[in-house]
Chain A
Amino acid sequence: MDITDFFDTFFEEAEELLADMEQHLLELDIDDPDSEQLNAIFRAAHSIKGGAGTFGFTVLQKTTHIFENLLDYARKGEMTLRADLVDTFLEAKDIMHEQLNAYRSEEEPDQEAFERICQTLQQIALEEIGEGLEAATSIPAQPAPVEEPAPVQPQETAESSSSEGTGLVVALLNVGEKDRTLLVEELEQLGTIESQSGDEKRYEVVLDSSVSGDDIEAVMCFIIEPEQIEIRPAAGAAAAPAEVQAPNQASEPTAAEKPVVAPAAPAASEPPVQKPESKTKKPEPKSKKAAAESSSIRVSVDKVDQIINLVGELIITQSMLDQTVSDLEDQSVGNSSLQNGMSLLQRNARDLQEAVMSIRMIPMEFVFSRFPRVVRDTAGKLNKEIELVTEGKSTELDKSLVERITDPLTHLVRNSLDHGIEMPDVREAKGKPRTGKLTLSARHQGGNILIEVRDDGAGMDREVLLKKARESGLNVSDTMSDEEVWQLIFAPGFSTAKEVTDVSGRGVGMDVVKRNIQGMGGRVEIQSKKEEGTNTRIVLPLTLAILDGMSIKVGRETFILPLSTVLESLQPAQEDMYAMAGDDVVLKVRDEYLPVIAIHEALDVKDAITDPTKSIAVIVQGEGRRYAMLVDELVGQQQVVVKNLEDNYRKVPGISAATILGDGSVALILDISGLHRLSRVKKESRKPVNNQPLSFYKEAEPS
């Protein structure tokens, strides 16, 4: 086993830790920071540093190291938090994320960003800790808060005195030459090494450092066992830590223990002062992790897909058996216990399939969790006040969709913040609260999932949209319904932004959003009321892996039409078919002329019915347009497991994917707009050869 095998685990873990860190940073109350949260942020940074160190990701390790130091000051209350500091922390988190991504794609991280953030962080450390010192000296004069048994302030005294440079003697017991060099290097990063001496059995390093012994031990424990480290204050500085330890320990244990601890510290030679504290502290993060892990496991998508495939196979085998059994029944040699067994197998197989499919489902929280940050950043840039509300975080969605919905959703959120919600003053003038409200919600609706982005902003202006549309040469009329007018914003190149701002106008338009969502088999609807706000609704199928399909036959071939695209089917009458200029044919269905797609032509199917009046027209909808699709026979409705064709083959025009039918054969899933394009291309290419108009269409009459 190679160490690189663990890389992925580290990357995934680090990614989660960074996400946690961001969440905590965003939730942090700057005026009264929750020490548990600060600790959580610190722990995240610390764990990443440890991992990065182990795998030799030096840049990441150094960044987290400096960051961790700052966080340490913050959690010890030595540094006062400010909004801009949190911003810097968030930026640091972003840069660490970039570094992580760089390592993941086996590149060197951006050196410039690394140096910049390190410098910024160090600068903060210098400035803040300087202030912290002043503050610390003044604090003991004030009475300590009563409700807390004085945990923070006295410690501050401790840290500030130690930040002046505390001499520590770090003794390494029974540490081999190689590890020793590593450890000394590590110590160099933590402070200035004043002297070092000793042998393998006991090697003493005198360190002048502002880092607490506890942290030094924590860092070194990545390399050696805690028992191999002994940290005590150096003789000269012994007086200060003695004072430190006393109030520190006193916070929890009874006063009786105090004298024991206090004299022990200055004694300075044997007792490892930091030990007791570190012992009580260590297990805490560990137990937390264990609890989190026991409720879920990390599995590679490949394995899940494999199980889904196998279950799919099982279902197919089961339906084959089922067929055989019912044939036996017909010949009246049926056996009732065989019958019962079959129906039991059928039910179990279905349950199994459902259970397996649910493995792929993950809660929307994974998507929503990134939006506090997006909203915070965007609102900051736009100088707007925004409150973000999320609903239905636990609604589950297929993993493949979760990954693909994030970008369109981000775009919609940015749009709402930029164009929808007004500036605080404007809002006040309108009699609305200064703070705009943006709601993200997810919920199930039938077989679909409904995701909404709601704002209480200005809403869309019908007149402005129509005017813009005319300017950009779109075909619009004043009689269009509101819903149609709102849909205009999905036209390519259409923007309602008066000017390109930092937030919008990056060239990704709403048309891309719409295309992406349609690519997932979903659709976008807009509801908007002037001065009340806009609601963008995304309706998505629950999963991409299963599709409700209508199986159809053309010639001897079976195809699947996604049921969501099918509107109705009818038998076309001769008089409703009109030949258009060229080779095009339209079918008149209730005052609507629909382009006709003959599948046998587009896909070159042999032995198919060529007379449209003898075939069936299925009215389908694709990319907002309707078509009449000519098929030979409607077989029935069934759920199919969608299989990608591109895994082993290539993209096929007119076909979106494949599936496996009950008899084990492959059926292709039709892509409606692709088929329409294909049939046009076919007609184009056939034109010079065959100029004869098809006899069974009558000429279109000029109206």
Chain B
Amino acid sequence: MSQVHKEAVLEAENREFLVFSLGEEEYAIDILKVQEIRGYENVTRIANAPDFIKGVTNLRGVIVPIVDLRIKFHLDSVEYGGQTVVIVVNVADRIVGIVVDGVSDVMMLTPEQIKPAPEFGVTLSSDFLSGLGSLDDRMLVLVDIDKLLTSEEMALVDTTSNQ
């Protein structure tokens, strides 16, 4: 009982993040949101959708939309190769795949290592950030993937039908 309790406390204090890269930058999302990581496969294009929505793919019988965060964050080079990774996340009862350049690490961050996010530029509103993680000389941008993917500008969730 006490063992379980201890672990729970530990979890509440230190959070684990999955670190991924978009170009030169390092981002991280809460590991509990991640369902699986897979390679980039052919997707079926959805007409008239924003360019960062690559389309939908078949994940063991489930139709899953694929979002390219590199396009969303206006990265210069967007290439699809053997190394391109899709992180399948589970947010708001939905399954969404996000395309990133690579997955590097799983990190444990203590509350002291998480700093509040400053006001950002236009591409990434600080609303979608849960903070900045500092780890030695590395800086991780902690993305609130829930908020980001359910936000109106992502156009992933039908706001009218979900009201």
Contact = CB atoms under 8 A, between A and B. Distances in A.
Contacts of A602: 47
A603 B47 contact: yes
Nearest to A657: B63
Interface string B3-42: 0000000000000000000000000000000000000001
Given A652-B49, A658-B56, A665 B62 contact: no
A644 B61 CA distance: 11
A664 B44 contact: no
A664 B46 CA distance: 17
B45 interface: yes
B94 A645 contact: no
B69 to A, nearest CB: 16
A603 B158 CA distance: 19
A310 B47 contact: no
Given A648-B94, A649-B56, A650-B158, A309 B46 contact: no
Nearest to A308: B61
Contacts, number: 76
Contacts of A678: 48
B57 A666 contact: yes
Among A603, A668, A678: residue with most chain B CB under 10 A:
A668
A651 B65 CA distance: 12
Interface residues of A, number: 30
A441 to B, nearest CB: 35
A667 interface: yes
Contact of A648 (B46, B47, B65, B155): B65
A648 B42 CA distance: 18
A652 B95 contact: no
Interface in A616-668: 643-655, 658, 660, 664-668
B49 A666 contact: no
Contacts of B47: 602-605, 652, 654-655
B139 to A, nearest CB: 32
A648 B58 contact: no
A296 to B, nearest CB: 26
Nearest to A310: B61
A312 interface: yes
B61 A603 contact: no
A609 B88 CA distance: 36
B158 A643 contact: no
B44 A646 contact: no
A648 to B, nearest CB: 5
A650 B48 contact: no
Contact of A650 (B60, B62, B157): B157
B161 A309 contact: no
Interface string A582-613: 00000000000000000000111100000000
A438 B133 CA distance: 71
Interface string A658-697: 1010001111100000000010000000000000000000
B161 A650 contact: yes
Given A644-B63, A651-B158, A604 B58 contact: no
Interface in B104-160: 155-158
Contact of B158 (A646, A655, A658, A664): A646
A23 to B, nearest CB: 36
A655 B158 CA distance: 14
B96 interface: yes
Contacts of A603: 47-48
A310 B157 CA distance: 26
A461 interface: no
Contacts of B94: 647-649
Contacts of B71: none
Contacts of A313: 60-61
A557 interface: yes
A644 B44 CA distance: 15
B78 interface: no
- Choose among B46, B60, B158 the residue with the greatest number of A CB atoms under 10 Å from its CB: B46
Contacts of A644: 63
A582 to B, nearest CB: 21
B155 A650 contact: yes
A653 B46 CA distance: 10
A664 B63 CA distance: 11
Nearest to A678: B48
Contacts of A667: 44
Contacts of B156: 649-650
Contacts of A658: 44, 56, 63
B51 to A, nearest CB: 11
Nearest to B157: A650
Residue picked from A604, A643, A652, A666, most chain B C-beta under 10 Å:
A666
B135 to A, nearest CB: 33
A34 to B, nearest CB: 48
A309 B61 contact: yes
Nearest to A654: B47
Contacts of A660: 58, 61, 63
A557 B60 CA distance: 21
A309 B65 contact: no
A632 to B, nearest CB: 15
A643 B94 CA distance: 14
Interface of A: 309-310, 312-313, 557, 602-605, 643-655, 658, 660, 664-668, 678
8 contacts: A309-B60, A643-B63, A648-B94, A650-B161, A654-B48, A655-B46, A666-B55, A666-B63
Given A604-B48, A650-B158, A658-B44, 13 more contacts: A309-B61, A605-B47, A648-B94, A649-B46, A649-B156, A650-B155, A650-B161, A651-B161, A660-B61, A665-B58, A666-B55, A666-B57, A667-B44
The 10 closest A-B pairs by CB, nearest first: A309-B61, A603-B47, A650-B158, A666-B44, A649-B65, A648-B94, A658-B63, A643-B63, A660-B58, A313-B61
